[in-house]
Every structure is written in structure tokens, then in C-alpha cells.
Structure 1
Amino acid sequence: MVVGDLAQEVDVLVIGAGPGGYVAAIRAAQLGRSVAIVDKGNLGGVCLNRGCIPSKAIISASERYTGIKEAGEIGIEVSGDVTVNMPKLMEWKNGVVKKLTGGVKSLLKGNKVEILSGEAFFSGPNSVRVVTDDSSQTYKFNDVIIATGSRPAELKILPFDGKRILSSTEALNLQEVPKRLIVVGGGYIGLELGTAYAKLGAEVTILEGTKSLLPGTDPMLTKVVSRKLKKTGVNVITEAMVQGGENTGDEVVVRAQVNGEEQTFTADYCLVAVGRKPNTDELGLEYAGVELDERGFIKIDNQCRTNVEHIYAIGDCAGGALLAHKASYEGKIAAEAIAGLNSVIDYQAMPFVIFSDPEIAYTGLTEAQAKEQGYNPVVSRFAFQANGRALSMNHAEGFVQIVADSETKQVLGVQMVGPEVSSLLGEAVFAVEMGANAEDLALTIHAHPTLPETIMEAAEGILGHAIHMVNK
């Protein structure tokens, strides 16, 4: 390591090249600033390399596999066994990741962003040391954006060993389909990966400490998913408080308190998915004077600025909803604030998506939240069972629900559970963001037969003249 290196000067330094960091760097460069970005790992951060993208690739593969096995229901008969080649599946998944991370690198270079590799540590409020295995370089900056993300939270009583007791990172790189898989945690990460491996042939048990899956998600949405999990053969045990566990060599044993009795669960692997923690503890933020909250998240204002005027934080490390698209959104706000624009964060229409089976997607206010905020809401729900496209896909579980103000008919929120609702949500987010009312959606001609017709029908239900359901 080089000691006493001569500091290099940069205008804007971005720490972390995930979906928040690289977007912030590109936006700052677009606004005329000289930008450098540093990351100790691969470009794209957790989302591209160890999260959103690889998990969705595995989920897509599991859905394709299930579709082939169930093809007989619609008259397509498959002779012989359908098998899963996990090494090849992982190779394909890694190819998807490589293509996207390569795209990020090209975008950064195309916007003249300097790419630095190494681990960043604050040495003062205006300087960062970037350390690699064999060197150290100090950078002085005018402004800095911290976008260091988060990592899987670990249970002290069931620590990761990377072999049998896994975080989501290792679960995304298994070279075999487990015969039996225990998932500790029934949040979106555990549910998504648990469902995918169940579809690929694993016997899956989900242990959730609260009363229901997906804590914090509207129960009317989770009920549909719970029914499908039961049909898929996933064993969901709620109010199961894990007491500990160990890797015995060929398998893992987990102990949990269920209904006052200790039960033992045995499997090939155990995925521990009990949340995430911010990557703020090894940055040297104390040398910069940056304040953290009690959980280690960086405190920011409505322009993503910390308590130190020229230091900004975005994405998971700044708390709130831990979503890649939220990080990207905040990255643009921070870059624009640095450039002197009057941009501020506004989460009125934040999209939330869970890639369960069927998918869950929602934005804006639920009926209960609307009432809490003083609205007199009216609700309309349209079932996918009445949608021609959903039936023709052989995936007609779930519904689209719109919550609107009874007087103005303004769309306050939309909740969906069903086929491809992750893609349908964009229209709903746009409606809430633009302050549209139900009539705006109802008068928009939707192509037939398509899934988005469900949004139009639910909007017509708000107005009392839906065609394909009985109006209340």
C-alpha cells in the first residue's frame, strides 16, 4: 500500500456503482459536471449481480419449466421427462448479468464518467481514500454521492456459512436443485426464491415469524399468493420463531418455536432471508461527520443531502423502501441538486412489485390508508377470471383493485395480484402520479384482448358502469 499519496481532485465522486450510483453519475455528467465513480465490486451493484436480475432470471426459468410440465392441461403433450440442468441454467443467468453489466460500463464511458475500482473510505469531509489489494489513492471532491447499498442481514443464531446456510447471494448460484429447502423469512426475497426453487422441484418449507407472509403487504393480495403456494406444495409455517440451527455436513438442521413447541426441520440447504442492512459501517463516515439513524441508515433531506452540505446519500444506504428503482430515482434527484436544480424527492406514486406466483404489484394508497388521510374512498375490484387474455393464458388468478376519492373520483391507489401485474403497474403509477381520475382511465381505449383491460374495467366500476362485472 502506498502511504502519503498525492491526492487527485474530482468534481463529483459517486461511491457505489449500483442502480443508484451509476444513474447518479450519468445524470451528473449530463448536467456538465466532471464525474468519477468507484466500486469495490462489479458495475451494476447488488441489483444486477446478486439481486434483481439474477433472481428474475431464475424465476423466469422456473416458470418456463412449470409451464412445460403443465402443458398437458391445454393439449400440448410432452413425451419423456423434463429435467433441469442447473449448471446450464446458472450459466445462462450469468450471461444475462454479464450483458447488462457490460451495458452499464458502456454507458458510463459514453458519458465520460471515470470508473475507479477499489474500496472507498472517508478520510475527511472532502476526501476519500480508494484502496485496492496493492495500492491506495486519495481523491478530493467538491461533492460526493454515497450509493453503497445494503447486504443480507444475518441471524446470530443461524449465521451464514455459504455452504448449507445461505444468504440470497449463495442461493442465486446453487449448482443443483435442492431436494429440500428451508427458507427462514417470508418476505419478498424468501418468497420469490422459495417459490422458484419449489417450481424447479425442491420441497420447500417457509418459516415466517409473523402471522402472515409478506409482512406489511395488504392481506387481500397475499391471500391469493398463499392459495397458490399451497397448490404448488410449499409448506408455509407462520409464527415460527427460529431458535437456531447448524450445518451437519450433508444437511442443515433448523430449530423453531411453533405454537409453543420446539420443532426441528431438516433440509439440504437453508436460505436465511430476514431483511437487509445498510453498507454504512465500513465507510469511515465518522471522519466526514455524516449522521446515521439508530439502524445505521444515512439521514437525508428531500434533496438526498446529508447533514454535511456537499455530501449526498441515495438508495438502500439512505433507508426507506429498499428498491432499485427508488435508488435510481434518488440518484437523479441528488445529481440535479448538485447542479443547482430545484429537484426534490416525491414518493407519492412509488411502485412496489413482488415476483411471487401470481405476482403482486401496488402503488399509492390502500383503502385503509386513504381513510387515514381523510379521504372518503370508493373501491372497485375486477377479477382476472373475467379477462379474456388471462383465461387464454391459463393464468387467471387474482384481480385489479382501484381506490379512488368518492367525490372527485381521483385515483388514490391501485393494488394488483395476478398474471404479469409487474408490467401492468406502469399505467397505474402514471395515473396516480398525474392525479388522473377514474374517468381518465375508463375513457382510454384499451386493446382487446389484453391484460390492461382489467384496469379500464376497474375504473369503470368506480364510475358505476363496468361492462364485464356486476356494478355495486
Structure 2
Amino acid sequence: MVVGEIAQEKEVVIIGGGPGGYTAAIRAAQLGKDVLLIEQKKLGGICLHEGCIPSKAFVHTAKQTNTWDHLIEIGYKFETKEFDFSTFLAYRKKLLSQLQMGIESLCKANKIDVMYGRASFISANKIGIENGHHYEVVNFEQAIIATGTKAGSHKVSANYQLNSRELFQVETIPEQLLLVGSDYIILEAAFAYSLLGTKVSIILEENHDFPFDKDILKELKRQLKKRKISLYPNTKDLRFSENESGVDCTFTNHKDETVMIHSSTIYIEEEIKGNTNELGLERMGLAIDSNGFIVCDRIGKTNMDHIFAIGDVSGGPFLAAKAIKQGKAVAEIIAGGKSEIDLTWMPEVVYSVPPIAHVGFSEEQAKAAGYPVKIGRYQLSGSGFAMLSGNRDGFAKVVIDEETNRILGMHIIGEGAIELISSAVIGGEMVARDEDFLFPTYPHPSMNEAILEAMEDTLGLSIHQAPKRTERKAKIVKNS
């Protein structure tokens, strides 16, 4: 091992080059800090190379098969409906390379030093970076840890079980896929593989369900049935056995019947733990919980004032959006600013088909919290733009405080949901009331009008859907 003769001096050292890490590095550099970014493999981290981007590229590609019939309906002609998976693999490789080069260019443009290797704290203000036979020592003033998580699940098959990083990076499309669990990864895989011709089954164990508002959940299950995705709710006594063609799963269903499913490929929702084992944090007395997550406040400050943790390594929710927000805020604090983090109105999204997006309270959560609520819904099937674009599935739902008319939550399932949810995020942050959504003019025709119609529905005034029977009766009584 070759050891650097003189330790480098840096103001800020950031460990981990994923979304949180490189965002923090760029923001700190923008604010005048001398920054070193340490990454063990490739800039962009797991999110870019094995997680977020590969999975969304897979889902996006699978989703296009859903457009063929509509394209034919409006005049396009295809000799065959054929998908070449090898072409997709080449496209994905090119995409990831371009995004990685983009991050590298941004770091270079912001004069950020990037060092590759495994980082480990030597002391409270000194870190070592090992890369093969080369070893560097760096003294620092402040550090940001953004090393993410590691995942593991109950291993039931040596040959046919995929982990979350393999699930969307297969070389061939499996004939059958069995998914056990209820997180967003399960749903994204279910819809994508189903569209590509895989026979998909989902098992929900006893007392587990998808974590959505009750109306979204009902529509989601309708969509699963529409896609011929088999759903087995409230199961127990799961047993797995591997054979030469895959895995057999036997369980007891909600009717106390014994059921057996055979699948060529299986994925089980993983347990997530903080990726902190090799950082040498015990040398400094940095607080870590039993699952390896670094203990810190909502800003990311640890029990050592000059060391911060951001992103997944600081615990859930495990979202890149959180890591990016934390990265910016921590960098600004380090540079002397007074940034704050409040994740109350952080949206959660699922790239299913159709996609799901929600933020704030669900109807059930709002009622449980003691709010008197009124609900507005608008079915996308009534939207002119949804009809002309062939995306009529789904609806928008708003949850409003009946006393103050303040928005408490928004839930959307349908094409455009992920883009539309930002309206609720901004509205929630601004403590918006229903009139703040009702007063503006919306582009027509557009999916945006679904939010307006849902808001109008809280007053019984939605234009493009028939009034509820109770509303018609109320008007008849009033006019008599």
C-alpha cells in the first residue's frame, strides 16, 4: 500500500456520490467552500447506476407497450407489435453513461475534487481513503456522510431470487415473477413486467397492504386486476422450495385455503439498514442506531457538531428527494446559512401504470388526527385531454379541512400524477385554502384541470362530472 506523504487539507469532505452527496458538494462549492467528494464506485451512486434511474428506465420502456393500441386508433400503422429487449439494454447503458458524465462535468465545473475509494474515519477530523494499493489521508473541518443503505431479504432461493438492484437489470424477461411485499418497488416491477408479457403474482402477508388512501387503494387493485396481475392478500404461513425450473411458494390465503404458486423468478421486499459498517464511526463515538442508521436531527446534524448525515443513511423515508433537499440544506448551514428542512409536504410517488402520487394526509389520517374533512374527487375519464390522449384511468382526490378550507392532502392515480402533485406540494407549503386552487385559470385542455374539478367537487360544483345522487336530491328539496 502506498500512503500519501502529506495529508490534504479540506474544508468539507463528503462521503458518497449519490444524489444527496453530489448535490451537497455542488451547493457547498457554489457557496465558496473547498470540497472533496469521495465515492467508492461511480458518481451518481446506487440511485443512478442500480436503483432509481435503471428502474424508471425499465418502467418507462415497458409503459410504451401500453400506447400501441391508442397509436393505431389515431392512425399509426405497425406491421408487428414487437419489442427488442437487447436494444433497450443498449439504450439504458447509454443513458446511465450520459448521466454519469453530466455529474462529473458539474463537479469539474464547480471545482470539486473527486476521489475514488473506500473512506474510513481515522479521528474526528481526519479521514483515510483507500483505493487498491493507494491510501490518502485528508484533514477536514466538516464532513457530510451520504453513504446510503444496504438491503437484505429472507433468502429462499440461491438461483431464482433477485434483490432490488437486480430486479430491473435482468438480461432476459422472465416467464413468471412472484413478488412478496407491499412497497413501491413491488408495484413498479409488477406493472412493468406484466406489460412486457411476464405472468406476475403479488403476495401480501397478513395485516399488510399497500400504503395509500383508501380510494387510491381501491383503484390500484382494480388496475392490478385489469392487467391480469394476480394479488393474494392477507396470506400467512409462506413456505418456499426451489426446484430445477424455479421456486414453489405455498401459503394459506385469506379464506384459510392452501395455495401453491410456481414462479421462474422471485423477489421479496427487503429489509433496509444503514451503510455504515466500514466507516470507522465507532472510533469517534458517532451515534448509530441498531439498524446502522446515523442518529441525527431533522437537519442532519449528528451528536458531533461538525459531522452531518443526509439521505438514506440518516433513516427513512428512503427517497432521493429527501437526500437532495438535505444535501442542499446541510451545505448551506456549513457555509453559514440558516436553512431549514420540513418534510411535511414531501410527495411520495410510484411509477406504476398508471402512476400514483400523494402528499399530506389521506382521508383516514386526517380524520384520525381530528380534522373535520370534506373530500373532492374527479375521475379522469371525464377529462377531454385524458380522452384524446388515451389515458382515462384514474382520478384526483383532495382532502380539505371543512372548518378552515385549508388543503390537508392530495392523492392522484393516473397519467400525469407525478407532475401534477407539485401543485399540492406548493399549496401545502403556502398553507393554501380551497379558494387558492379554485380562483386561478387552468390551461384547457389539460390534465391540470383534474385538480380544479376535484376542488370544485368539494363544493358539489364540478362541471365535468354528474352530480352525486344526494346532491340532486338536496337541490330538489331546496327548490320545492
Q: Indicate the TM-score class for this superposition, using the shorter chain for normalisation.
A: over 0.9
Partners of 2:226 and 2:372 in 1: CA distance: 37
Q: Which residue of 2 aligns with 1:158?
A: 156
- Distance change >3 Å, CA 185–CA 98, structure 1 → 2: same
Instruction: Output the CA distance in 1 between the equivalents of 2:203 and 2:362.
Output: 27
Contact 1:71 1:78 (C-alpha < 8 Å) held by counterparts: no
| Residues 1:467 and 2:467 are matched in the alignment | no
Which deviates the most, 294-303 or 42-51?
A: 294-303
Q: Aligned to 1:272, which of 268, 276, 282?
A: 268
The answer on whether the counterparts of 1:165 and 1:247 sit within 8 Å (CA) in structure 2 is no
Corresponding residue of 1:35 = 35
- The equivalent of 1:342 in structure 2 is 338
Judging changes above 3 Å, is the alpha-carbon distance between structure 1 residues 261 and 370 closer, same or farther for their aligned structure 2 residues? closer
Aligned-partner residue type, residue 140 of structure 2: F
TM-score normalised according to structure 2 size: 0.91
- Using the TM superposition, give the Cα deviation of residue 382 of structure 1 relative to its aligned residue in structure 2, in angstroms: 1.3
Q: Which amino acid is the alignment partner of residue 418 of structure 1?
A: G
Aligned to 1:377: 373
Deviation, structure 1 residue 284: 1.8
Corresponding residue of 1:88:
87
Per-residue CA deviations over 1:292-333 (Å, capped at 9, x if unaligned) read 223221111132100111110011111121110111001111
Residue 111 of structure 2 is matched in structure 1 by 112
**How far apart are 1:463 and its partner, in Å?**
4.3
User: How do 1:172-191 residues align onto structure 2 when only pairs under 5 Å count?
Assistant: 172-191=168-187
Letter in 2 for 1:448: H
In 2: Cα distance, 1:236 partner to 1:24 partner: 41
Q: Give me the whole-angstrom Cα distance separating, in 1, the residues matched to 2:63 and 2:30.
A: 40
Deviations 1:423-449 (CA, angstroms, capped at 9, x unpaired): 111111111111121111111111111
Pairwise CA distance, 1:371: 3.3
Could you tell me which residue of structure 1 aligns to residue 474 of structure 2? none
Structure ID, larger Rg: 2
For 2:475, the equivalent position in structure 1 comes to none
Amino acid in the other structure paired with 1:58: F
**Aligned position for 2:8:** 8
Q: What residue is the counterpart of 2:312 in the other structure?
A: 316
Residues 245 and 255 in structure 1, CA contact (< 8 A), matched pair in contact too: yes
How many residues matched? 467
Q: Could you tell me which residue of structure 2 aligns to residue 124 of structure 1?
A: 123
CA RMSD of aligned residues (A): 2.2
State the Cα distance separating 1:76 from its structure 2 match: 5.2
Residue 147 of structure 1 and its aligned partner are, at CA, apart by 0.6
Mapped pair 1:55 → 2:55: yes
Aligned partner of 1:365 in structure 2 is: 361
Identical aligned pairs, as a percentage? 35
Aligned to 2:229: 234
Residues of 2 paired with 1:107 and 1:57: CA distance?
23
1:229-258 deviation per Cα after TM superposition (whole angstroms, max 9, x unaligned): 111111111233474545545433444454
| 8 Å Cα contact 2:164-2:270 kept in structure 1 | no
Distance in 1, Cα, partners of 2:370 & 2:220: 31
Kept after mapping to 2: 8 A contact 1:401/1:414: yes
Partner of 2:476: none
Q: Distance in 2 between matches of 1:415 and 1:69?
A: 28
Decide which moves more: 258-267 or 109-118. 258-267
Gaps of 5+ in 2: 472-480
Partner Cα separation in structure 1 for residue 236 and residue 372 of structure 2? 39
Aligned residue in 2 for 1:20? 20
* Runs of at least 5 residues in structure 1 that lack an aligned partner in the other structure: none
**Structure 1 length as normaliser, TM-score?**
0.93
SS in 1 for 2:32: coil
**Cα-to-partner distance string for 1:259-299 (whole Å, 9 max, x where unaligned):** 55664432222123334322122322211211122322111
Distance 1:18 1:129, change over 3 A: same
Please tell me the residue identity of whatever aligns with 1:457.
E
Cα displacement string for residues 84-129 of structure 1 (whole angstroms, at most 9, x for unaligned residues): 3222212112222211111111111111111110111122222222
Q: 2:214 aligns with which of 206, 219, 231?
A: 219
Q: Deviations over 1:134-184 (max 9, x none)?
A: 2222222111101111233321x426x5x5211121122211111111122
Q: Which residue of 1 aligns with 2:280?
A: 284
Counterpart code for 1:251: G
- Residue 331 of structure 1 is matched in structure 2 by 327
